[in-house]
Structures are given as structure tokens and as C-alpha cells.
DNA sequence: CCAAAAGTGTTCAGGCTACACCCATGT
DNA sequence: ACATGGGTGTAGCCTGAACACTTTTGG
């Protein structure tokens, strides 16, 4: 049985790609590094995994410690292990991606006088380590997953309009979608509940608010139902 | 900056779920453990990651060392980190899954007087560690991926018949597929090349042999083409 | 009353499903 | 000659794409 100090071990970190939707643009939450290496560069929130926590726990903990974001959709993405991805020593990083409703979290990062900031996914600053690669992987996963699992709702407030939902898909997937066809299809899944509330904003007809029913989705999924947009 | 012995570190391993197709049944390659813990139990091939290799390299190396299988489709699956998944100490394992053409590798494991053996995916022995969970995850991934990426060919010899391909899909996905519709669709993708060869076996008409053209797939994929069965 | 986004149906084409018989071969 | 899997076409249905106008509100 291997003993702790028999062989050198790689260090283990977690890194989180946090996606948010702001004014119809996809954003990513980054923090500015205060120390070397890459001092001053922007990087994904993350840090070392403790020996007494799972990776999920480590990701959630680091995310909250560094950005204040918590209780959000958080899922393992991929594990990155290029030999020289960290100039100090061998560090292997398990990447996660998170989807947050920006309305709740935007202020926090912005007002904290913190070093955390939202950047448009299409216009990022130079990043530390191999974080560009991690981000690209996360974006690809998000786009893929959005099409066949109902995770888009995680980026919206609990109550949302169909137009907001449609814009979300258009933004993330980078496509134009026909309004009528989109509504027909989404409502056809019977996973959205129309609320007795409307969203009024601006000089135009108020929009019906809906809520996603995750329990219903779970039930349907077990019966072989396939979400797909 | 953290120093090597400042904090205890988890150990890192890789584990490989190797899938093969044998006489129309999906099989998994396991090895019998010669040492504690779980001495005598069957387990996924795998082992500790060296500090100077990437995870992909570690997975390929362990796979070859323990089973002789090499040069096969091998892809990262998920990283498992339950606190007590290894009774000795904290071990985090990056799981991979491999797809092999059993015709090439079957004999090796069988004749080696080795401790490696193929088991039907639906009828596995008791496994060591959390390997049941890893296997379940791999199976789910395989089923998912098979439907929207042309990876099934990795389980077949380079030259195969459409019936073999159809059986593959039926076996892995657990569905019946209509022969005519299947052929129409698969050939419609224009990713298979009919060879000037037939597969003759048994008292019946010989079958046309085909070959998958990966280069063509890459080209089409870049143009937005979506494989889907 | 004007500007702005919300909301709503129908038509058409293409893809998917279901289905049954002849073909080439080995024994 | 017969048993065995290989190979082929069509018709109905359903789903996805295209497309324009009315409604409700705030200013």
C-alpha cells in the first residue's frame, strides 16, 4: 500500500466557471489575482481541495468564499491535467460550471469593492493558467446541454416570461428563433406553469409569467421523455 | 504558495471502464485484485497517477499495463471523490471509458492466464470500491453519446456490416430498430463507404462490408452537421 | 394616438414510422 | 430444396419551418 510520502503527489484544485445572463448577454464571473503567479490577471474562482471534503463541496466552498455566490446549479465539467498548467508545481484541476440568476448575484460582486467582476463571455480579459481552455470547454458544454436538458431556467429568475427564455436560448446558442414556434414547443412540454402574475415593464403589453416545474420534469424523464429544443 | 507538506493531499488514481462487444452482448473488462483492500474482488483497471504524466497518459498506461489493451478510443468520464471511497486513505479517482473492438483484444485477456476478464455489462460480479457507480456512469454516458456522435464504430472491426452496426445500437440502447429505416438513415449521412468486399458467414447471402470515414465526419461537423440516431 | 413588446394559427415540406417480400448463399 | 440472414420501397403521419397581424400597455 502506498504511503503518503513514498511518491510525490500532484496538488488538486477546483475551478468554477460561473455563467450569468445580464441584459441579454452571457457573462462569466472572474476574480483578479492578488498574488503570483499571474498576479493582477483575471482568473476563474477556485482553490485547493481539502483532504476532508468532496470535490462538489470544495467547488461550492471556494465559489462562496471568493465570490459570495452560493446555492446555485453547480456541476462537474472536466478535469484538466496538462503538466505545466501551473508554473509552480504539478497541479491538477477539476473544473465545475455554475449557472446563476444574475439578478440575485450581480450586486454582490459589483458592490463588494471585491475583486470579482462579471465579463461578457465573448469579450474576456487575458486569463491566468489554462483558464481560457477551461472556459471554452464550459461554454461548449453549456451550449450542448442547453439543447437537451432544461437547465436554462437556472439562468433566469424563478418567475420569467417566455420572451426572456427565448432570448436566453438565442443568446447562448447564437441563433435566431421564431417566436411562435418557440412558444408552441416549450409550452408543449407541459413543464411550465403559467402564474397569475404578469411582468410589466415599459410602454407595452405586460407579459405572462411562468415558473419551471422541476418535479414534473423528473417524473417525465423517468418515463423516457426527452427534452429537446 | 502551498508547500508540498504543508497540507495533506489526496492521492490521485485513474480507473478505466473498457467496453467491448461480443456476440451481440456488451461486455466490460475487469481485473481481479491480488491485494487488499478488496483482495479477490473484481475491479476496473486503473492505478495511481504519476506526477509527471497527464491523466490521459496515466489512463492509457494503466490500461495497457493491466490488460494489454492499447491504441483504443479512451475518453475522460468523470472524477469521483466520495470521502470514503477507498478505505485506506483519501483517494480521488478520475474515471475514463474506453471502446474496443473485441475481436482484437478478446484473446489477449482470455489467454494471458491473466487476471483480466470480460463480463457482460448486465451481469457483473461484485466490484471493489465505488466501481459500480463508476460503471453506471460510464454506461449512461455511452448510451447518451452513441445517439449523437458516431462512436459506435469504435466497438466494431474497421470493416463491418450494417447488420453488425444495427445490432450494436440495439444492444447498447436496448431497443429494437427497423432494419430498412436504420439503413436508410445511416447511409443517408454519407459517412460510410461501401467496400469491394463482402462478409460471408453461414448459409446465407454475404453481407456488404462498410468502413467509417472519420475525416469526412470531422469535415461535416465543422459545417454544423449533427449526427443523430 | 403612438411606440413597443406580447400574444396567437395555418400551411407546407421533409423526415420518421410502419410494414412484407425477394435474393444469395451453404449445406 | 430449404433454411438463413441480406437487402430493398412506399404510404401515412407527424413534426418543424415559415410567415403577419392584433392586443395591451405607458407615455
List, for residues A125-137, the tens digit of each pLDDT value.
Answer: 999 999 999 999 9
| Same domain, residue pair A17 and A130 | yes
| Same domain, residue pair A166 and A139 | no
Contact criterion met (CB below 8 Å) for A31 and A4:
no
Strand, helix or coil at A104? helix
Question: How many whole angstroms separate alpha carbon A222 and alpha carbon A200?
Answer: 37
| Same domain, residue pair A34 and A134 | yes
Q: Which of A113, A146, A179 is the last residue of a domain?
A: A146
For residue B23, what is its C-alpha cell?
A: 456476440
| Same domain, residue pair A140 and A156 | no
pLDDT at A24: 85
Question: How many whole angstroms separate alpha carbon B109 and alpha carbon B22?
Answer: 13
| Same domain, residue pair B105 and B194 | no
For residue B8, what is its C-alpha cell?
A: 495533506
Question: How many whole angstroms separate alpha carbon B204 and alpha carbon B163?
Answer: 14
Question: How many whole angstroms separate alpha carbon A92 and alpha carbon B194?
Answer: 45
pLDDT at A2 over 90: no
Residue A111 lies in a domain: yes
Q: Are B94 and A76 within 8 A, CB to CB?
A: no
| Same domain, residue pair A131 and A180 | no
| Same domain, residue pair B162 and B123 | no
Q: Is the dihedral of CA A32, A37, A38, A43 positive or negative?
A: negative
pLDDT at A162: 98
Q: Are strands A11-22 and A91-100 parallel, antiparallel or unpaired?
A: parallel
Q: Are A92 and B48 within 8 A, CB to CB?
A: no
**What percent of chain A lies above the pLDDT cut of 90?**
86
Q: Is any atom of strand C within 7 angstroms of residue A188's beta carbon? A: no
Residue B229 lies in a domain: no
The residue range of the domain holding B193 is 152-222
Q: Are B9 and A12 within 8 A, CB to CB?
A: yes
List, for residues A185-201, the tens digit of each pLDDT value.
Answer: 999 999 999 999 999 99
Give chain A positions within 8 Å (CB) of B97.
none
Residues belonging to chain B with any Cβ–Cβ distance to chain A shorter than 8 Å: 1-2, 4-5, 7-12, 35-36, 48-56, 76, 78-79, 81-83, 88-90, 92, 94
| Same domain, residue pair B102 and B192 | no
Average pLDDT in the A59-74 region? Answer: 96
DSSP string spanning chain B? ---TTTS---EEEEEEEEEEEETTEEEEEEEE--SSSSTT-EE-SEEEPPTTS-HHHHHHHHHHHHH---SSEEEEEEEE--TTSSSSS-EEEEEEEEEE-HHHHHHHHHHT--SEEEEETTS---BSTTHHHHHHHHHHHHHHHHHHS--GGGGS-SEE-HHHHHHHHHHHHT----HHHHHHHHHHTT-EEEEEEEE--SSSPPEEEEEE-HHHHHHHHHTT-----
DSSP H or E segment with residue A225: none
Q: Which residues of chain B have pLDDT under 70?
A: 1-6, 106-114
What distances in angstroms separate CA B64 from CA A47, A51, A162, one per listed residue?
Answer: 33, 30, 52
Q: Is any atom of strand D within 7 angstroms of residue B16's beta carbon? A: no
For residue B203, what is its C-alpha cell?
A: 448459409
List, for residues A8-60, the tens digit of each pLDDT value.
Answer: 999 999 999 999 999 889 999 999 999 989 999 999 999 999 999 999 999 99
Per the listing, cell 513514498 goes with: A6
What distances in angstroms separate CA A166 from CA A23, A29, A175, B45, one per listed residue?
Answer: 13, 23, 10, 46
DSSP string spanning A40-60? T-EE-SEEEPPTTS-HHHHHH
pLDDT at A219 over 60: yes
| Same domain, residue pair A160 and A136 | no
Shortest CA gap A78–chain B (Å): 7
CATH code for the domain in which residue B52 is found: 3.90.79.10
pLDDT at B45: 97
Q: Which of B99, B118, B147 is the last residue of a domain?
A: B147
CATH code for the domain in which residue A178 is found: 1.10.10.10
Question: How many whole angstroms separate alpha carbon B143 and alpha carbon B26?
Answer: 12
Q: Which residue in the set B52, B76, B90 is minimally distant from A83, CB to CB? A: B52
pLDDT at B136: 98
pLDDT at A104: 77
Question: How many whole angstroms separate alpha carbon B97 and alpha carbon B68?
Answer: 15
Per the listing, cell 450494417 goes with: B162
C-alpha angle with apex B102: B101 to B103, nearest 5 degrees? 95
Q: Is any atom of strand D within 7 angstroms of residue B181's beta carbon? A: yes
Give the residue among B159, B191, B164 at the shortest CA–CA distance from B23. Answer: B164
Q: Which of A121, A146, A171 is the last residue of a domain?
A: A146
Of the residues A3, A7, A81, A174, the best mutation for testing chain B's interface (the one with the most B CB atoms within 10 Å of its CB) is A81
Can you give the pTM of this predicted structure? 0.94
Q: Are A81 and B7 within 8 A, CB to CB?
A: no
Contact criterion met (CB below 8 Å) for B79 and A58:
no
Span CA (B206) to C1' (C22), Å: 15
Span CA (A31) to C1' (D7), Å: 62
| Same domain, residue pair A117 and A167 | no
Nucleotides of D under 7 A from a protein CB: 2-10, 16-20, 23-27
Which residues share a beta bridge with B29? B118
For residue B159, what is its C-alpha cell?
A: 470493416
Q: Is any atom of strand D within 7 angstroms of residue B203's beta carbon? A: yes
Give the residue among A122, A139, A101 at the shortest CA–CA distance from A20. Answer: A101
Strand, helix or coil at A109? helix
Indicate the DSSP class of residue A181. H
Indicate the DSSP class of residue A6. T
Residue B1 lies in a domain: no
pLDDT at B70: 93
Chain A 163..182 CB hits on strand D (< 7 A): 178-181
Question: How many whole angstroms separate alpha carbon B118 and alpha carbon A87?
Answer: 42
pLDDT at A62 over 70: yes
Among protein residues, the one whose C-alpha sits closest to the C1' atom of D9 is B180
Residue A77 lies in a domain: yes
Question: How many whole angstroms separate alpha carbon A135 and alpha carbon B92?
Answer: 23
pLDDT at B5: 52
Stretch among A105-114, A146-155, B100-109 having the lowest mean pLDDT:
A105-114
pLDDT at A103: 81
Shortest CA gap B164–chain A (Å): 26
| Same domain, residue pair A137 and A184 | no
Q: Which residue in the set A8, A12, A79 is minimally distant from B10, CB to CB? A: A12
Q: Are B7 and A48 within 8 A, CB to CB?
A: yes
Residue A59 lies in a domain: yes
Residue A199 lies in a domain: yes
pLDDT at B16: 98
For residue B78, what is its C-alpha cell?
A: 468523470
For residue B218, what is its C-alpha cell?
A: 470531422
| Same domain, residue pair B51 and B123 | yes
Q: Is any atom of strand D within 7 angstroms of residue B195's beta carbon? A: no
pLDDT at A1 over 60: no
Chain B 145..204 CB hits on strand C (< 7 A): 178-181, 184-185, 200, 202-204
Q: Are A55 and B81 within 8 A, CB to CB?
A: yes
Residue A97 lies in a domain: yes
Which residues share a beta bridge with B13? B48, B93
**Closest-lying nucleotide for B229 based on CA to C1':** C16
C-alpha angle with apex B31: B60 to B82, nearest 5 degrees? 75
Q: Are B52 and A7 within 8 A, CB to CB?
A: no
Residue A21 lies in a domain: yes
Of the residues A83, A92, A96, A133, the best mutation for testing chain B's interface (the one with the most B CB atoms within 10 Å of its CB) is A92
pLDDT at A111 over 60: no
Per the listing, cell 465559489 goes with: A63
- Look at chain B and report how many structural domains it folds into: 2
Q: Are B9 and A79 within 8 A, CB to CB?
A: no
For residue A8, what is its C-alpha cell?
A: 510525490
Span CA (B197) to C1' (C22), Å: 22
Amino acid at each position: 500500500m502506498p504511503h503518503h510520502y513514498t511518491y510525490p503527489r500532484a496538488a488538486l484544485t477546483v475551478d468554477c466557471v460561473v455563467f450569468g445572463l445580464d441584459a441579454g448577454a452571457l457573462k462569466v464571473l472572474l476574480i483578479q489575482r492578488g498574488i503570483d503567479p499571474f498576479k493582477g490577471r483575471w482568473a476563474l474562482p477556485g482553490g485547493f481541495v481539502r483532504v476532508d471534503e468532496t470535490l462538489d463541496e470544495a467547488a461550492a466552498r471556494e465559489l462562496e468564499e471568493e465570490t459570495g455566490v452560493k446555492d446555485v446549479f453547480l456541476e462537474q465539467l472536466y478535469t484538466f491535467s496538462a503538466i505545466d498548467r501551473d508554473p509552480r508545481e504539478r497541479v491538477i484541476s477539476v473544473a465545475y460550471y455554475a449557472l446563476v440568476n444574475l439578478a440575485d448575484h450581480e450586486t454582490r460582486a459589483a458592490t463588494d469593492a471585491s475583486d470579482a467582476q462579471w465579463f461578457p463571455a465573448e469579450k474576456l480579459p487575458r486569463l491566468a493558467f489554462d483558464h481560457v481552455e477551461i472556459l471554452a470547454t464550459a461554454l461548449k458544454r453549456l451550449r450542448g446541454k442547453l439543447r437537451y436538458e432544461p437547465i436554462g431556467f437556472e439562468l433566469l429568475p424563478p418567475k420569467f416570461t417566455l420572451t426572456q427564455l427565448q432570448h436566453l436560448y438565442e443568446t447562448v446558442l447564437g441563433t435566431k428563433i421564431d417566436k411562435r414556434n418557440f412558444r408552441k414547443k416549450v409550452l408543449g412540454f407541459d413543464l411550465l406553469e403559467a402564474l397569475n402574475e404578469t411582468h410589466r415593464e415599459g410602454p407595452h403589453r405586460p407579459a405572462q409569467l411562468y415558473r419551471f416545474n422541476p418535479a414534473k420534469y423528473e417524473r417525465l424523464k423517468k418515463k423516457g421523455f426527452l427534452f429537446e429544443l
